[in-house]
Structures are given as C-alpha cells and as structure tokens.
C-alpha cells in the first residue's frame, strides 16, 4: 500500500469559523488511508514554533475531532507585524523540521507571502494560497494585511479562491483576468441541512418558540458580520411583528456589546445567544428567516447552509451572487435604514419551506462531490475537477 499523503492547512486557528468548517467538511469526506490533513495554527501564547499545541494554547472547537481523525496540530506565534523576524524564524524552524507534507495550503493569506515561500524553499513540493474572504477589517490591521498580501499570486504554485470577489481582493484583478486563480466554491455536507419538518418541530419546542416568527444568524461576533445593524433590523421588525424572535449562533469579541445593545433597545427577552453549537443544522431547521448583513464575505458557507435548509435568506448586497444557489436569497443594501429590511422581511415571511438538497448538489455546493476533486489534486496535482 502506498504511503499516506499529508496535507498541511495553515489557519489562524481551528475554532468554529467558516473556513475551518469547510475544511473539516472536506476532511471528513477524504479517504484518510490515502490523504491525511494536518493543521498549522497561530497562538498569542508563544514566541517560537512548537510541535505541541496543548501546553501553549487553549483547545479550540475542532481540536478533538482533528486528533480523532488522525490529524496533527502544530503552533506558530501569532503574527503582530512588529514580530516579523521572530515569526519568520519560527516558520523557518518549522519547515526545516517537517518535510512530510506533499502540499501546504495557506488559508491565512495575510501571512501566506511569508510562510509559503519558506515552505517551498525547505522542500515542500506544492504550495497553495487559498483566499477565503473578500475584505479586511478597518484600520492598521487591514492596511498591514494588504501590504503583506501584495504579489501573493507569484508566491504560490496554485492560487485558489472561494469566489470571484475573494480572488480579486487577494490576488488582484489582473491575476483574475489572466486565469491564474482557480475558483472553488465553498461546499457543505448538504444532506445534514436538508429540511426536516419533524426536526423543526422538535427544536422549536425545545427553544419554546413553537408559534413565533424565528429569525436566525450564524457567525462570529466581529466587525465583518455587522451584528449592530442586524440587531437594528430585528428591533424594527419587532415593532411590526410582536411574535418575532431572534437566535444567534456563534461567539466572539463583540458578543457582550451586542447583548448590551439588545438591553438598551428593550428586546433582550426576544434574542437568544446560543453560542457555538456542534449541530448547527438543527437550529437552521428551527428558523423561518436567515439574516446575513455582512460588510464583506468571500463565499459565506452559512448562506449555503441556510439555503440547503430551505430558508428564506436576507443578505447584504456586498455578498457575491455566486453564493445564490436557489431563489430563496434576497439581496439588500446595508446603506439603507434597517427598517427597510424589516418591512421586506415582513412582506415575504410567509413562504413554503421545501427540500433543496438536489438543487444544492446540482449547483456544486455538496462537499461529497468536491472531495473527489481535491483527492485528485492532492494525489496527482490535477486541479481540473475542482
């Protein structure tokens, strides 16, 4: 039997985020006798590279599953710009010690221009820069990210992006025109999210929301997801619909501020903060409307999941149309008053929920199909099926 091929995915961490979830969906589908995933993550708690994660960082959402599936987690110091030389030395040390990877796939593009060339120089056969987002945060951090991404298209053997917007943002319009970027839409395990009326009833009973109009959102509490505007939309809807409820899945640095905003608006009893959930598919069943008023996205997996669950979705018009697999998605501007979103939601809240599984598969958003393409790429270097 041939030796197992090991693929190293470079990420900020392995918490419950969009890129992380899509990689884990793919990982579960791989023939792990032939292909194994390992992960190189970043931590505040260290200054140099270490082969052991447990002593230098708190375990994250996917740690246990990665280890159960046979993957390893390695740790680098978090990049802070001022520690450029320290970070570079840590990367150098790591790849000097690790030659077992056939492919290094960098989903953390802010520093991919540092670690991918070093990996290549240290003998890694194939390097991939994978753009997962179509924007950066405001301020110095965003400026630094753009600076270190410059010319990334020439620093990797392959350039992947989850959408046209994400490709242009990271690799540039010219690289897109030249066909140097491969677009690979984020795929999900669509069968997990397929509409199930019995499950919907059960989860809504557990939440105590049997007869209400339930809005939902899944995402980290950070700038990108635009939670303050989302809460304004919901508060405006509450003035129209007394039965409206909101469930929010996810965690993050801005959560406490959003809880306070709900208290100030007097809607705290209508909003449930459910944190990270191991089975988010159950909560999609309970929803009636899905909201995603993000400032920017690459190709949001949560929007794909919501459509797979047959949900009516109201999303910002900054989000790529490539994420629209069904007629359930309505694009609206976040520049207009939140009340306009509320009026539109109220007008379209009554609709027939349906099974969209085959539509999602036919649109290329099912990970089972995508996994075979990745298997071919990892084994043969052939990206034609991706």
Write the pLDDT tens digit of every residue in 306-341.
999 999 999 999 999 999 999 999 999 999 999 999
- Burial class of 122 by CB neighbour count within 10 A (0 to 12, 13 to 18, 19+): middle
122 and 211 co-located in one domain: no
Confidence class of residue 55 from pLDDT cuts 50, 70 and 90?
low
pLDDT digits (tens, 9 = 90+) for 111-139: 999 999 999 999 999 999 999 998 888 88
- Mean predicted confidence (pLDDT) in 211-236: 98
Over 90: is that where the pLDDT of 46 sits? no
My answer on whether 355 and 371 are in the same domain is: no
Decide: 313 and 297 in contact? Cβ < 8 Å.
Answer: no
Same domain, 221 and 247: yes
| 163 lies in the same domain as 75 | yes
Q: What is the pLDDT of residues 188-219, one digit of tens each?
A: 999 999 999 999 999 999 999 999 999 999 99
User: Average of pLDDT values for 160-178?
Assistant: 97
Q: In this predicted structure, what is the pLDDT of residue 24?
A: 97
Same domain, 225 and 76: no
In a domain? residue 137: yes
pLDDT recorded at residue 1: 45
Is residue 211 classed exposed, middle or buried when 0-12, 13-18 and 19+ CB atoms within 10 A define those classes? exposed
| Mean pLDDT in residue range 211-232 | 97
**Which residues are within 8 A (CB) of 280 and not within 5 positions of it... i.e. 6 or more apart?**
218, 249, 305
Distance from CA of residue 203 to its chain's centroid?
A: 24
- Looking at the structure, tell me whether residues 222 and 125 fall in a common domain: no
164/42 same-domain check: yes
Burial of residue 2, with CB atoms counted within 10 A of its CB: 0-12 exposed, 13-18 middle, 19 or more buried: exposed
Residue 386 in domain: no
Query: Residue 1 to residues 5, 17, 230: CA-CA distances in angstroms?
Result: 12, 35, 53
In the predicted structure, residue 2 carries a pLDDT above the cut 70: no
- Which domain covers residue 170, as residue numbers? 5-187+366-380
157 and 216 belong to one structural domain: no
pLDDT score recorded for residue 107: 98
Percentage of the chain modeled with pLDDT above 70: 98
Strands (E), 31-100: 35-43, 73-77
Same domain, 143 and 268: no
Please tell me the predicted confidence (pLDDT) of residue 145. Answer: 86
Say how many domains are in the chain. Answer: 2
Would 385 be classed as within a structural domain? no
- Band (pLDDT 50/70/90 cuts) for residue 142 is confident
What integer pLDDT is reported at residue 32 of this predicted model? 96
Mean pLDDT of the chain, nearest integer = 95
Q: Which pLDDT value is given to residue 136? A: 82
> pLDDT of 343-382, one tens digit each?
999 999 999 999 999 999 999 999 998 999 999 999 999 9
B/e letters for 339-375, b = 16+ CB within 10 Å, e = fewer, are: eebbebbbeebeeeeeebbebbbebebbbbebbebbb
Asked if residue 289 has pLDDT above 70, the reply is yes
For residue 374, what pLDDT is reported? 97
Residue 294 included in any domain: yes
Task: Place 227 in a pLDDT band, splitting at 50, 70 and 90.
Answer: very high
Could you identify the residue written with the tokens 């951090």? Answer: 141
30 and 152 both lie in a single domain: yes
Distance CA 25, CA 29 (A): 7
- Burial class from Cβ neighbours inside 10 Å (0-12, 13-18, 19+) for residue 191 reads middle
Sequence-distant (6+) residues with CB within 8 A of 156 are 106, 112, 116, 127, 128, 129
Whether residue 38 lies inside any domain: the answer is yes
CATH number at residue 284: 3.40.50.2000
Asked if 159 and 31 sit in the same domain, the reply is yes
Closest by Cα among 120, 85, 90, 83 to 8: 120
pTM of the model: 0.92
- Tell me: do 276 and 183 sit in the same domain: no
Kindly state the tokens that stand for 61: 């959402």
């Amino acid at each position: 039997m041939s030796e197992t091929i090991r693929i190293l995915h470079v990420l900020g961490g392995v918490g419950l985020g969009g890129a992380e979830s899509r990689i884990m969906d793919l990982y579960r589908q791989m023939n792990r006798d032939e292909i194994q995933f390992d992960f190189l993550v970043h931590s505040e708690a260290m200054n140099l590279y270490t082969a052991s994660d447990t002593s230098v960082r708190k375990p994250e959402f996917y740690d246990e599953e990665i280890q159960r599936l046979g993957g390893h987690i390695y740790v680098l110091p978090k990049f802070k710009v001022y520690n450029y030389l320290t970070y570079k030395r840590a990367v150098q040390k790591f790849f000097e010690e690790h030659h077992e990877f056939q492919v290094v796939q960098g989903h953390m593009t802010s520093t991919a221009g540092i670690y991918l060339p070093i990996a290549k120089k240290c003998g890694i056969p194939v390097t991939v820069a994978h753009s997962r987002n179509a924007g950066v945060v405001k301020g110095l951090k965003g400026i630094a990210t753009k600076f270190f991404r410059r010319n990334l298209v020439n620093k990797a053997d392959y350039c992947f992006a989850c959408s046209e917007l994400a490709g242009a943002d990271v690799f540039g319009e010219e690289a897109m025109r030249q066909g140097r970027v491969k677009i690979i839409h984020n795929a999900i395990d669509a069968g997990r999210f397929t509409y199930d009326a019995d499950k919907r009833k059960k989860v809504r009973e557990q939440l105590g929301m049997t007869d209400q109009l339930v809005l939902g959102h899944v995402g980290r509490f950070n700038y990108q997801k635009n939670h303050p505007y989302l809460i304004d939309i919901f508060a405006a809807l509450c003035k129209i619909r007394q039965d409206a409820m909101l469930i929010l899945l996810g965690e993050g640095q801005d959560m406490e501020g959003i809880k306070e905003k709900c208290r100030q608006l007097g809607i705290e009893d209508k909003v449930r903060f459910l944190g990270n959930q191991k089975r988010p598919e159950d909560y999609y069943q309970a929803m009636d409307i899905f909201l995603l008023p993000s400032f920017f996205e690459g190709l949001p997996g949560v929007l794909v999941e919501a459509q797979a669950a047959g949900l009516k979705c109201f999303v910002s018009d900054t989000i790529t149309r490539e994420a629209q697999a069904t007629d359930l998605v309505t694009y609206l501007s976040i520049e207009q008053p939140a009340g306009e979103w509320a009026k539109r939601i109220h007008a379209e809240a009554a609709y027939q929920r349906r099974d969209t599984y085959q539509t999602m598969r036919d649109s290329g958003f099912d990970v089972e199909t995508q996994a075979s393409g990745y298997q071919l790429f990892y084994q043969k270097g052939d990206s034609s099926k991706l």
